[in-house]
Amino acid sequence: MDWLNAVIQGLLLGGQYALLACGLSLIFGVMRIVNLAHGVIAVAAAYVALWLVQDGSVPLLLALVVVVPVFAAAGYALQRGLFNPALGGGELAPLLVSFGLGIVLTNVLQQVFSADSRSIGIGSLGTSSVPLAPDLSVGVFSLLTFVVGVGVIAAVQLFLSRTSTGRAMRATSDDPETAQLMGIDQRHLYGVATAIAIGTVALAGVFVGMSTQFSPTYGDLVLIFAFEAVIVGGLGSLWGTLLGGLVLGVAQTVGAQVDPAYGILAGHLVFLAVLLVRPSGLMPRTVTA
Amino acid sequence: MNALLSVEGVDVHHGDLQALHGLDLTLDEGETLAVIGANGAGKTTLLRTIAGSLRATRGEVRLDGDPIGSTPAHVRVARGIALTPEGRRIFPSLTVEENLLVGGYRGRKGPWDLRSVYELFPLVHGRRTRAGAHLSGGEQQATAIGRALMANPRLLLLDEVSLGLAPVVVKEIYAALPQVVARGTTVLVVEQDLNQALGVADRVQCLLEGRTVLEGPAATISREDVTAAYFGLQE
Ligand SMILES: Nc1ncnc2c1ncn2[C@@H]1O[C@H](COP(=O)(O)OP(=O)(O)O)[C@@H](O)[C@H]1O
Ligand SMILES: [Mg+2]
């Protein structure tokens, strides 16, 4: 029962990783940018939500409803203002720009909120659980995070496969120059993709803030887990990212079951093993450009 | 009355290499023009300059007399210019039908939609759920033309329709062109196959090393003149 429990907790944790990784995967899939500021943006969203709740006395749910669109709008501006110009400067430029942005944001968070660890209080939601079987129960909040994670991935995937804008994004990912000949404004479309990505990572960041202690540098860990989920799943595939998140989560909890000190290490080892054995990930895009 | 398209004294460079030298071209509404020339003559460069993928370093491109030289490619689509690029450039991860739908992303209203494109190219209809990556050359070419038509262009630019295709497929695709013209689209076709070019066009313009060396009505131009111009032979 302990092992089964570890696997189930791992799957739930994996839902959180998938939620964290969704935006990273989308930005890479559409425009081949690895956004190194991804983790600290999640943490920034957690701080903003915390600030709204504590200093503004805003209900937590309302804070979420505010944070997500505000971050999405900031994502659009980030793309149009920083990433789009950088894309003209070669492969490395967007990577360096996002690296710089991450450092600046981390420092701003330290200045504004100090380096102390914080968390967003959720009261009894954090401690209540539902029994699945005798000896086996799952936390309500973990379950909620999992459902939100799977739901967000499914929604973004549905958007990509069913809507006109989503189709245009896939076309642009295949062949940006030809996509422009179809009347697609690449700079705007990239802005929309980044808006969605940053909106989802902001949501993920608030969930992280509700589930654990965070500080301005916590974004590094978030970035690593999100990156591992994306790579394990396969670049450019959102279902792959979901799978990657689940594999990573299960690896960590099962590893911790062996020895509590090995949890995170087990996740890294699975990541390295996938890189060695299947560098394209578990579910790479079936058709490549 | 203004010509639908006029290219006036256009220079285009690829880095240090100048591909077009003060090129002129005019095209009236409803006319079909074939641009011919050997490999490297500058035909693709010309079409990409008209569509907006490349910018002229000198000269102007006009649509209905309005300068569009600094209008981005995606806006030119909405103004009525659609290009079927050399190599077809079908989106490989999208299905055939999705490729067509992307073609209509910001197009104009008009006679062309999924239904009329499928009627024009039954072969495309039969492949509509297939991924773009898994098409034969002829299927790709028909899909690429259909995709451009989905934008309901006033001016359709076709680059090397017959390149690499079996003769029966070329015939089938060219057989569809009169229906496109009949619905009011002006066509500029780039072609290395002289017979096809002379068969479909009202007028022929022959390029050599980025300059026009011969121009005239397709019906009266002599094959010897075309051949000489094509290879740059002096009289
Ligand atoms: N992307 C490019 N970069 C550098 N040179 C190019 C590029 N495209 C075309 N050229 C050069 O420009 C000239 C004209 O090419 P192109 O327009 O493709 O001719 P055509 O379509 O008639 O074969 C050729 O000398 C070709 O090598
Ligand atoms: Mg060419």
Please write the tens of the pLDDT for every residue from B179-216: 999 999 999 999 888 888 888 899 999 999 999 998 98
The ipTM of this complex is 0.93
Q: Does A161 lie at the interface with B, CB-CB under 8 angstroms?
A: no
**Structural domains present in chain B:** 5-230 (3.40.50.300)
pLDDT of res. A34: 94
- Report which residue type is found at B197: A
Q: List helix spans (H) across chain B.
A: 43-51, 73-79, 96-103, 114-120, 122-125, 137-149, 167-182, 194-200, 223-231
Residue B17 has pLDDT above 80, yes or no: yes
pTM of the model: 0.92
Nearest to B101 by CA among A265, A110, A85, A171: A171
Tokens 């809507």 belong to residue: A163
Distance separating alpha carbons of residues B131 and A285, to the nearest angstrom: 13
Of A167, A173, A179, the CB nearest to B101: A167
pLDDT value, residue B235 = 47
Averages of pLDDT over runs of 10 residues in chain A (289 residues) are 89 96 95 95 97 92 96 98 93 94 97 94 86 87 96 96 95 95 96 98 97 95 95 89 96 92 92 91 65
Report the residue of B74, B81, B106 to disrupt the A interface, i.e. the one with the largest count of A CBs within 10 Å: B74
In the prediction, which pLDDT does A1 show?
66
- Please report which confidence band the pLDDT of residue B1 belongs to, taking 50, 70 and 90 as the band edges: low
Q: According to the model, what pLDDT value does residue B234 have?
A: 53
Which band of pLDDT confidence, cut at 50, 70 and 90, is reported for residue B56?
very high
- Please answer yes or no on whether B89 and A175 come within 8 Å at the CB atom: yes
Q: Whose CA is nearest to atom 10 of ligand 1?
A: B14
Which of B44, B46, B231 for a ligand 1 pocket mutation test, highest count of atoms within 8 Å of Cβ?
Answer: B44
- What's the average model confidence in pLDDT over B127-134? 94
CATH number belonging to the domain at A2-277, selected among 2.60.120, 1.10.287, 1.10.3470, 3.90.1750: 1.10.3470
Edge-to-edge strands of the sheet including B58-63? B17-27, B5-14, B58-63, B66-67
Q: In A, which residues are within 8 Å of B103 by CB distance?
A: 182
Contacts of A167 in chain B (CB under 8 A): 94, 98, 101-102, 105
| Pairing assessment for the beta strands B186-190 and B32-36 based on DSSP bridges | parallel
Which one of the ligands is nearest to B161 CA? 2
Q: Which residue has the tokens 């290009």?
A: B83
Question: DSSP for B134-149?
Answer: G--HHHHHHHHHHHHH
- Exposure string over B6-23, b if 16+ CB within 10 A, otherwise e: bbbebbbeeeeeebbeeb
